[in-house]
């Protein structure tokens, strides 16, 4: 079939769309987003799809299928990246389905149901902290308040939309109606070590951990580093440092949760000034929503104790929360059958990382395939996978596509899997 090398070449090409040639960074509503969108639309058109940009900057490719009005299968993932990212997080789930549809078209094999491929414009939330913005819009689950988010240069999301040629009042146009969608399936690198450790190229995802992100501001009192006695200080950075270690200690002590402080900065810091204001972010995930809430309550208590002992204030603002999601048993079974048909052991595994599928679960049933990645590394330039594994994933997806019946689920009853 030889799709693996084609997919890897497309991913190399897409990785060129970066705001920094030295490290891959592609943020929402930037010239690099537009450049990537053009490239993706070109590949979609080669596959015989209609390709367009939707009202929030997602790229949507549509394959009509012979039965107008039949419920459509949506495939896809995100085109944006974290800072200094790897080439495969998100991009694999955009380019692989397009390559598969082009392969089918070149052989005159027509699927008998409509398929859309969506490259979501903002899953990571790197620029506006508006995580899953593109997929939430498609799922009709967008919180309009997100439009007022501001990036690090003070640009508001709705102004950036206008600058990108989009109308912020039209974001609702990106939504699909539940009755027109049969399922959403996302192919993604595992971003973890399990498949590699078990020498498997591919796995079927069972659930996606829920996540909450907060922006925390610690307000103490700035002062001269030489004149303020230690016992009279309200050092915001010392307090924040205790808070960071509290997040680590609490999540270590709350089984099934992970906690990360990914960004920390002193506001107008200087070597000879006691930090007055410090900002940092928190990301807490949990296999179950309850576990995540327990960890958050404990973090709240710890911050209150630090604040009163040190005479500082903590202001914690949630910037994102998504509940844990279960993947559809129906889709897990069909994806598993496709893996088995390739002669591969079916390994089911949970996702600790978040994905657009979490938002799409508000619209339809979700399924995910994980592809092995080297050393489980992701969100880092060392993120890598092989053409051979891309080939396996393409073969599995093609088997899934050729057997998929958009009406099968309705005959089985049941609702999308929200844990
Ligand atoms: O943060 C995540 O889990 C995803 O990569 N956006
Ligand atoms: Mn990511
Ligand atoms: Mn991702």
Percent of the chain with pLDDT over 70: 98
Determine the average pLDDT of the residues in 325-342.
Answer: 97
| Tens digit of each residue's pLDDT (9 = 90 or more) over 247-305 | 999 999 999 999 999 999 999 889 999 999 999 999 999 988 999 999 999 999 999 99
The CA 8 to ligand 1 mean position distance, Å, reads 22
* Ligand closest in space to the Cα of 368: 3
The CA 7 to ligand 3 mean position distance, Å, reads 17
Nearest to 174 by CA among 338, 57, 274, 67: 57
Nearest to 257 by CA among 297, 296, 299, 291: 291
User: Does residue 128 sit in helix, strand or coil?
Assistant: coil
Closest protein CA for atom 6 of ligand 1: 124
Determine the average pLDDT of the residues in 6-24.
Answer: 97
The closest-lying atom of ligand 1 relative to the alpha carbon of residue 125 is: 6
Q: Please state the φ and ψ torsions of residue 298, each to the nearest 5 degrees.
A: -70, -35
d(CA 191, CA 268): 36
Ranges of beta strands (E only) in 23-94 are 50-53, 59-63, 72-78
The residues spanned by each domain of the chain are 3-209+324-403, 210-322
* Ligand closest in space to the Cα of 283: 1
Give the pLDDT confidence score for residue 415 in this predicted structure.
47
The closest-lying atom of ligand 1 relative to the alpha carbon of residue 378 is: 5
Q: Do residues 97 and 103 make contact, with C-beta atoms less than 8 angstroms apart?
A: no
| Tens digit of each residue's pLDDT (9 = 90 or more) over 175-224 | 999 999 999 999 999 999 999 999 999 999 999 999 999 999 999 999 99
Give the pLDDT confidence score for residue 42 in this predicted structure.
98
- The answer for residues whose C-beta is within 8 angstroms of residue 262's C-beta and 6 or more apart is 281, 283
216 Rama sector, left if φ>0, alpha if ψ -120 to 50, beta otherwise:
beta
* Ligand closest in space to the Cα of 353: 1
The CA 89 to ligand 3 mean position distance, Å, reads 5
The CA 355 to ligand 3 mean position distance, Å, reads 5
* Ligand closest in space to the Cα of 79: 3
Residues having C-beta closer than 5 Å to ion ligand 3 = 89-90
User: Does residue 387 sit in helix, strand or coil?
Assistant: helix
d(CA 206, CA 18): 33
The CA 90 to ligand 2 mean position distance, Å, reads 7
d(CA 44, CA 98): 6
Give the pLDDT confidence score for residue 410 in this predicted structure.
65
Closest protein CA for atom 4 of ligand 1: 354
Asked if residue 120 has pLDDT above 50, the reply is yes
The CA 212 to ligand 1 mean position distance, Å, reads 11
Give the pLDDT confidence score for residue 419 in this predicted structure.
38
The CA 125 to ligand 2 mean position distance, Å, reads 9
Determine the average pLDDT of the residues in 346-372.
Answer: 97
* Ligand closest in space to the Cα of 131: 1
Confidence band of 413 (pLDDT split at 50, 70, 90) = low
288-292: Cβ within 8 A, 24+ apart: 288/210, 288/256, 288/324, 288/419, 289/210, 289/323, 289/324, 289/419, 291/254, 291/255, 291/256, 291/257, 292/210, 292/211, 292/212, 292/257, 292/324
Q: What is the 3-state secondary structure (H, E, C) of 320-375?
A: EEECCEECCHHHHHHHHHHHHHCCCCCCEEEECCCCHHHHHCCCCCEEEEEECCHH
Residue found under tokens 């307000």: 219
Asked if residue 377 has pLDDT above 90, the reply is yes
Our mutation pick for probing the ligand 1 site, out of 355, 373, 378, counting the most ligand atoms within 8 A of Cβ, is 355
Q: Do residues 186 and 356 make contact, with C-beta atoms less than 8 angstroms apart?
A: yes
Q: What is the 3-state secondary structure (H, E, C) of 253-304?
A: CCCCEEEECCCEEECCCCCCEECCEEEEEEEEEECCHHHHHHHHHHHHHHHH
The CA 136 to ligand 1 mean position distance, Å, reads 15
User: Does residue 61 sit in helix, strand or coil?
Assistant: strand
Asked if residue 103 has pLDDT above 60, the reply is yes
Domain 210-322 top-level CATH class: alpha beta
| Tens digit of each residue's pLDDT (9 = 90 or more) over 220-231 | 999 999 999 999
The closest-lying atom of ligand 1 relative to the alpha carbon of residue 211 is: 3
* Ligand closest in space to the Cα of 120: 3
The CA 355 to ligand 1 mean position distance, Å, reads 6
User: Does residue 247 sit in helix, strand or coil?
Assistant: helix
d(CA 402, CA 250): 47
Our mutation pick for probing the ligand 1 site, out of 319, 354, 373, counting the most ligand atoms within 8 A of Cβ, is 354
CA 35 → CA 27, 56, 101, 275, 294, distances in Å?
A: 11, 16, 22, 41, 43
The H-or-E segment that residue 312 falls in is: none
d(CA 21, CA 36): 14
Asked if residue 70 has pLDDT above 90, the reply is no
Q: Please state the φ and ψ torsions of residue 193, each to the nearest 5 degrees.
A: -100, 0
Nearest to 11 by CA among 107, 85, 71, 66: 85
The closest-lying atom of ligand 1 relative to the alpha carbon of residue 78 is: 6
Give the pLDDT confidence score for residue 371 in this predicted structure.
98
Strands 59-63 and 115-120 turn out to be antiparallel
Determine the average pLDDT of the residues in 397-403.
Answer: 97
Our mutation pick for probing the ligand 1 site, out of 26, 93, 124, 257, counting the most ligand atoms within 8 A of Cβ, is 124
The closest-lying atom of ligand 1 relative to the alpha carbon of residue 352 is: 3
The least confident of 5-19, 54-68, 260-274, 400-414 is 400-414
Determine the average pLDDT of the residues in 129-157.
Answer: 94
Asked if residue 418 has pLDDT above 60, the reply is no
The CA 97 to ligand 2 mean position distance, Å, reads 19
Q: Do residues 61 and 98 make contact, with C-beta atoms less than 8 angstroms apart?
A: yes
* Average pLDDT taken over every residue of the chain: 95
Residue found under tokens 């129906």: 330
- Architecture in CATH of 3-209+324-403: 3-Layer(aba) Sandwich (3.40)
Give the pLDDT confidence score for residue 411 in this predicted structure.
62
Q: Which residues line ligand 1 (CB under 6 A)?
A: 123-124, 353-354
| Tens digit of each residue's pLDDT (9 = 90 or more) over 76-94 | 999 999 999 999 999 999 9
Give the pLDDT confidence score for residue 382 in this predicted structure.
97
The closest-lying atom of ligand 1 relative to the alpha carbon of residue 131 is: 6
Confidence band of 122 (pLDDT split at 50, 70, 90) = very high
The CA 233 to ligand 3 mean position distance, Å, reads 42
The closest-lying atom of ligand 1 relative to the alpha carbon of residue 353 is: 3
Give the pLDDT confidence score for residue 408 in this predicted structure.
87
């Amino acid at each position: 079939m030889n799709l693996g090398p084609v997919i890897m070449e497309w991913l190399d090409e897409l990785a060129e769309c970066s705001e920094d040639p030295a490290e891959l960074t592609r943020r929402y509503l930037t010239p690099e987003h537009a450049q990537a969108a053009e490239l993706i639309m070109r590949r979609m058109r080669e596959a015989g799809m209609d390709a367009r940009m939707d009202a929030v900057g997602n790229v949507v490719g549509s394959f009509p299928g012979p039965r107008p009005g039949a419920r459509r299968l949506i495939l896809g993932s995100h085109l944006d990246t974290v800072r200094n990212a790897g080439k495969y997080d998100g991009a694999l789930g955009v380019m692989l389905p397009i390559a598969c549809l082009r392969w089918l078209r070149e052989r005159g094999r027509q699927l008998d149901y409509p398929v859309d491929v969506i490259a979501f414009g903002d899953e990571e939330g790197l620029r506006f902290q508006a995580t899953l913005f593109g997929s939430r819009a498609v799922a009709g689950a967008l919180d309009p308040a997100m439009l007022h988010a501001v990036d690090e240069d003070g640009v508001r999301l709705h102004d950036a939309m206008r600058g990108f040629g989009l109308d912020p009042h039209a974001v609702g146009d990106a939504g699909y109606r539940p009755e027109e969608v049969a399922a959403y399936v996302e192919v993604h690198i595992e971003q973890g070590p399990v498949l590699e450790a078990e020498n498997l190229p591919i796995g079927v995802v069972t659930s996606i951990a829920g996540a909450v992100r907060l922006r925390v501001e610690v307000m103490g009192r700035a002062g001269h580093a030489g004149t303020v006695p230690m016992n009279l200080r309200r050092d915001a950075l010392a307090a924040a440092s205790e808070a960071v270690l509290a997040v680590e200690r609490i999540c270590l002590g709350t089984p099934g949760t992970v906690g990360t402080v990914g960004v920390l900065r002193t506001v107008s810091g200087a070597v000879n000034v006691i930090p007055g204001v410090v900002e940092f972010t928190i990301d807490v995930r949990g296999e179950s929503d309850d576990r995540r809430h327990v960890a958050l309550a404990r973090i709240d208590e710890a911050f209150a104790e630090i604040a009163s002992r040190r005479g500082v204030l903590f202001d914690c603002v949630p910037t994102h929360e998504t509940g844990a999601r279960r993947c559809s048993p129906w889709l897990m079974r069909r994806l598993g059958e496709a893996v088995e048909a390739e002669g591969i052991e079916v390994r089911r595994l949970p996702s600790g990382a978040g994905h657009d599928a979490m938002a799409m679960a508000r619209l339809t049933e979700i399924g995910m395939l994980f592809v092995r990645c080297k050393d489980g590394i992701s969100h880092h330039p060392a993120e890598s996978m092989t053409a051979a594994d891309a080939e396996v994933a393409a073969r599995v997806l093609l088997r899934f596509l050729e057997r998929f019946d958009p009406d099968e689920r309705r005959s089985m009853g049941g609702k999308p899997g929200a844990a």
